[in-house]
Chains A and B, each alone.
Chain A
Amino acid sequence: MKAHLTRRYRFSASHRLHSDAMADEENAATYGKCNNPHGHGHNYALEVTVSGPVDERSGMVCNLVDLDGFVRREIIERFDLQNLNMLPEFARMVPTTENLCAVIHDILQRGFTLAHLEKVRMEETMMNSFEYAGGAELRR
């Protein structure tokens, strides 16, 4: 039987929203306080949802030890306590949480093969969150 498993992680990082494609005034108008040249930080929450048949022998969709290990190695260690604008992923891309969601989805999609990736959900603050399912429709 197919089940969906969601695991929640946390990391903190700083960023500045600024697009090279816009003039300074347009950047300021578009991003407001987020355009502050010195950047600012968030405590992000990341939710990873994977799905698959529940293995009869283990009772699991996938072993949490494997998922936690992958996310720690490939995502938390890469982004936690970093300035996102300094990372190669964001050399040419504004580090909005939309883009961060897509980058993290891509890391999981390429590297985590032990269950089907359903979606990535990120909370930038308690008041806003973003979900990305790699172009697929989100399941209610």
Chain B
Amino acid sequence: MVYLTRKAEFSASHYYDNPSFSPEENRQLFGKCNNPNGHGHNYTLEVTVKGEVDTRSGFVVDLKQLKEILQREVLDALDHRFLNKEVPEFFTLIPTTENLAISIWQRLAPKLQKAQLHRVRVYETPDLFVDYYGEA
């Protein structure tokens, strides 16, 4: 089994708010992140796939295809967007880094054919990242 990781970057804005909480509860739980005008990050995404090396191509996965899938399913949807307002899953889900990692997994997993998705890592800043392994 060989693991291959592809990196990508995107920039997006978001804010944290749970409509079932009162404004005070939201401010207390989410602090500055509750500002409804949003704020932004330069996210770094690392997608790791795993599989056996194909004897004919020497590839775990065709990197060109992986790049295209990443571009179409993730970057086109998230890059330079206000996540809460423009990305459907975040109309209801809070766009934390945790939920972003899960959402990216769910966007990618059904589109990958040969290689199996192993891990999605999302850096919100160089000092904070979330890993999601597809676990329930």
Q: Is the interface of B mostly helix, strand, loop or mixed?
A: mixed
Interface size class of B (residues with CB under 8 A): 20 to 34
Chain B, residues 1-45, CB within 8 Å of chain A (1/0): the string is 001000000000000101011000000011100000000000000
Query: Given A54-B102, A65-B31, is A59 in contact with B132 using a C-beta cutoff of 8 Å?
Result: no
Q: Which residues of A contact B129 (CB under 8 A)?
A: 5-6
The residue in chain B whose Cβ has the minimal distance to the Cβ of A2 is: B135
A136, chain B: closest CB distance, angstroms: 15
Interface size on A, as a range, is: 20 to 34
Write out the residue numbers on chain B whose beta carbons fall within 8 Å of the beta carbon of A64: 128
CB closest residue in chain B, given A8: B127
Q: Among the listed B3, B20, B130, which residue makes an inter-chain contact with A6, where contact means beta carbons less than 8 Å apart?
A: B130
Question: B interface vs A, CB < 8 Å?
Answer: 3, 16, 18, 20-21, 29-31, 93-99, 101-102, 118-119, 126-133, 135-136
A sample of 16 cross-chain residue pairs with beta-carbon separation below 8 angstroms, ordered by A number, consists of A1-B132, A1-B136, A3-B135, A6-B129, A6-B131, A8-B128, A57-B18, A58-B94, A59-B16, A59-B93, A59-B96, A59-B99, A60-B96, A61-B130, A139-B133, A140-B118
A-B interface, 3 closest residue pairs, ranked by CB to CB distance from nearest:
A59-B94, A59-B96, A4-B131
